[in-house]
Amino acid sequence: MADYIRALEPITTPAQLERTKELIRQFTAPQGLGPRLHQYLLDKREAEDNWAYYYWLNEMYMNIRIPLPINSNPGMVFPPRRFKTVHDVAHFAARLLDGILSHREMLDSGELPLERAASREKNQPLCMAQYYRLLGSCRRPGVEQDSQFLPSRERVNDEDRHVVVICRNQMYCVVLQANDRGKLSESEIASQILYVLSDAPCLPAKPAPVGLLTAEPRSRWARDREMLQQDERNQRNLELIETAQVVLCLDEPLAGNFNARGFTGATPTVHRAGDRDETNMAHEMIHGGGSEYNSGNRWFDKTMQLIICTDGTWGLCYEHSCSEGIAVVQLLEKIYKNIEDHPAEDNGLPQHHLPPPERLEWHVNQPLQLRFGQASQSVDKCIDDLDFYVYRYQSYGKTFIKSCQVSPDVYIQLALQLAHYKLYGHLVATYESASTRRFLHGRVDCIRAASTEALEWAKAMCQGEGANVALESDREEEEESRKVKFSIYSKDHLRELFRCAVARQTEVMVKNILGNGIDIPLLGLREASIEVTGEMHELFKDESYNISQCFLLSTSQVACSTDSFMGYGPVTPRGYGCSYNPQPEQIVFCVSAFYSCEDTSASRYAKSLQDSLDIMRDLLQN
Ligand code: COA
């Protein structure tokens, strides 16, 4: 509770904080409800592998009713390929799928190596459960609450292995390994993909975009799914999709209007595919580009959707409830590096006489037919509202930060705080995911980077001037005035404040990853209050609690060892999402906001980040 009060200090008013302190006094008094609930959770801990797991899973995913694309599923972009012919597309897809199959075999044989913590109480073993949920799993919509279809670890050895390939909204079941004919070779898989690539465009009409329904609000999609299930053929299709190892989406390129907008002063892109920049590629991975492009060429409930576009862009969209990004990134990077290290010798026409993959035909009744128009409109509206910006900060990266004896993660979190303060003159509840895999079934807790120490430092860096809410046209003047006022505090003083902010942020980070964060215990107490008394305690209806839970800045480090990056949308309509990938000499940020919110702008936040990182370097250099 002391840590909770500390986390509230920089983001609440004195009156709000006083009221919360009073509620906490009542809650924690020996005769208050707090001690009883705490004991309730201790008993639960004795009885279960991980007392927090289902509280957390439901809170973060299963109870959330808004659509998966943008709001929940992250998208990941890999360095684009060069495809000369459609055979190249098929061969690359085959290599990825072959890698997936080999990984599946490794999981089945129990040879997946146990990972250990690389820092802070080094070598502690990490829970590997997430890795076993990546393949062959799927989320299922429910009217009240979603659920997960998870692969059974007992049945693994006597099953066929298949994937579902989607091209121009047509779905095909490609069997990669069958009990009666063994595993397909890479070239055989390529021939199956080639069949899909040539069959789908030749079919008389584009089919109903059933996949688009998975982009709808969850309760809506649950009802549509019930309607679909009334037909036996549809039921079987759904089962094939859910049990598929992965879904592979063969896409058409998006138009240039998805390229980065605003903030032209930087070098926002390194990779290009034709006219498309990295922001454009990220849009494709996160939502598919709308009903006109590839959003119907998806199954957003599927844990892993590999996406390959004919122009060489490729990556992943993944449903988040089964696993954090790290496990997904590691799996795909392993497969990708293997492809890079062992270039294929021959991408010629594969000659095989396998039966062609089965095309999934849907029976869509009249009421469902009507739903596609509505679903197209609603997904297109959401996509139009997404303000996304992939920003590569190239002046320095982890190497410089480490040379300042600061943890790179802590440093970047403080840069994110400063960037926010520069724009708005205050800090907001900030979420950073902290892995808690040192615990069985541990997922994440929340590192709260908005601290009083960060606020004091940010204020001093901006001379306590308050919000820089200037429009773009006013910015130059603003920047000039800021430069002049910068000398109000000595560099020594600013450095001292920075050290205090670093110390606090480091302490919060370490507490979290060692299992002493505040958000999971608070969630536990909240849920326990409902289970024990039938209603939620006042502490969780409090204004401060609501402020603390509305993450106007939602961040996470997604470190990649290849030149790839992962991004996602904001978690509230007025907020920012910001993932970052710190590399030795640069940091890749994926900033998101919603156009419908007048106060936010992804490119302005990126620009503010650039300014913040620049002045931090000036402060710490030498
Ligand atoms: N001086 C110099 N170097 C330092 C340092 C210091 N004071 N503190 C740390 N470093 C070094 C570390 O030794 C490490 O070195 P390495 O690159 O050789 O491994 C490096 O800096 C990075 O460490 P740091 O930035 O402190 O953080 P981290 O890599 O341990 O990451 C978290 C911190 C919180 C991001 C991580 O623990 C975590 O939880 N990751 C999961 C996040 C997640 O779930 N993301 C996906 C969400 S979908």
Q: Per-residue DSSP letters for 76-100?
A: EEEPPP--SSHHHHHHHHHHHHHHH
Q: 325: Cβ below 6 Å to ligand 1? A: yes
CA distance 172 to 192: 10
Taking the domains of the chain in order of start, what are their residue ranges? 64-114+124-384, 389-517+535-620
Query: What gap in Å lies between CA 152 and CA 149, rounded to an integer?
Result: 9
Tokens representing residue 126 in the block: 């990490």
- What is 64-114+124-384's CATH number? 3.30.559.70
Is there an atom of ligand 1 within 6 Å of 414 CB?
no
Q: Going by C-beta distance under 8 Å and a sequence separation of 6 or more, which residues neighbour residue 226?
A: none
H/E element holding 194? helix 186-199
C-alpha distance from residue 324 to each of 55, 57, 81, 334 (Å):
17, 12, 26, 17
Angle between helices 232-243 and 218-228 (to 10 degrees): 130
**Do the domains spanning 64-114+124-384 and 389-517+535-620 agree at the CATH topology level?**
yes
Q: Which atom of ligand 1 is nearest to the CA of 411?
A: 25
Give the CA dihedral 343, 348, 352, 357, nearest 10 degrees: 80
Cα separation, 267 vs 282, whole angstroms: 16
Residue with tokens 């979420």: 431
Candidate of 332, 402, 403, 506 to mutate for ligand 1, largest count of ligand atoms within 8 Å of Cβ: 402
**Nearest atom (ligand 1) to Cα of 320:** 48
Q: Is 595 left (phi over 0), alpha (psi -120 to 50) or beta?
A: alpha
For 436-469, letters b (16+ CB in 10 Å) and e give bbbbebbbbbbbbbbbbbbbbbbbbbbeeeeebe
Amino acid at 35: P
Strand segments, DSSP code E, in 9-117 are: 75-78
pLDDT mean for each 10 residues of the chain (622 residues): 98 98 97 97 97 98 98 98 94 97 92 92 95 96 98 67 96 90 90 96 87 98 97 97 98 94 70 90 98 97 98 98 95 96 74 87 94 96 98 97 97 98 97 97 98 97 60 48 59 96 98 97 98 97 98 97 97 98 97 98 97 97 82
Nearest to 432 by CA among 382, 328, 506, 482: 506
Q: What is the pLDDT of residue 55?
A: 98
Are 105 and 274 in contact by the 8 Å Cβ rule? The answer is no
Place of tokens 């509620």: 23
Please name the residue whose Cα sits nearest to atom 31 of ligand 1: 409
Strands 553-557 and 430-435, sheet pairing: parallel
User: Residue 576: in which H helix or E strand, if any?
Assistant: strand 576-582
- Rounded Cα distance between 284 and 290, Å, is 9
pTM above 0.85, yes or no: yes
Reading phi first (left if > 0) and then psi (alpha if -120 to 50, else beta), residue 274 is in left
67 Cβ inside 6 Å of ligand 1: no
Ligand 1 binding pocket includes 512 (Cβ within 6 Å) = no
Q: Where are the beta strands (DSSP E) in 99-243?
A: 138-140, 147-149, 161-167, 170-178, 182-183
Distance from residue 118's CA to the centre of ligand 1 (Å): 9
Ligand 1 within 6 A of 119 CB? yes
First to last CA, the chain: 40
444 lines ligand 1 (CB under 6 A): yes
Q: Which of 38, 320, 352, 426 is catalytic?
A: 320
The per-residue pLDDT for 347 is 63
Å from CA of 621 to ligand 1 middle: 21
Residue 422: strand, helix, or coil? helix
> Is 407's C-beta closer than 6 angstroms to any atom of ligand 1?
yes
pLDDT (0 to 100) of residue 122: 93
Q: Which residues contact 454 (CB under 8 A, 6 or more apart)?
A: 10, 414, 417, 427, 501, 504, 505
So what's the pLDDT on residue 154? 60
H or E element, residue 228: helix 218-228
Strands 304-309 and 314-318: antiparallel
Residues in the chain: 622
In this structure, what DSSP letter does residue 252 have? Answer: P
Nearest residue (by CA) to ligand 1, atom 19, is: 118
CATH number 1.20.1340.10 given to 389-517+535-620: no
Instruction: Measure the CA–CA gap between 318 and 300, rounded to whole angstroms.
Output: 8
**Whole-angstrom distance, CA of residue 44 vs CA of residue 614:** 49
Residue pair 451/6 in contact by the 8 Å Cβ criterion: yes
CB atoms within 10 A of CB 191: 23
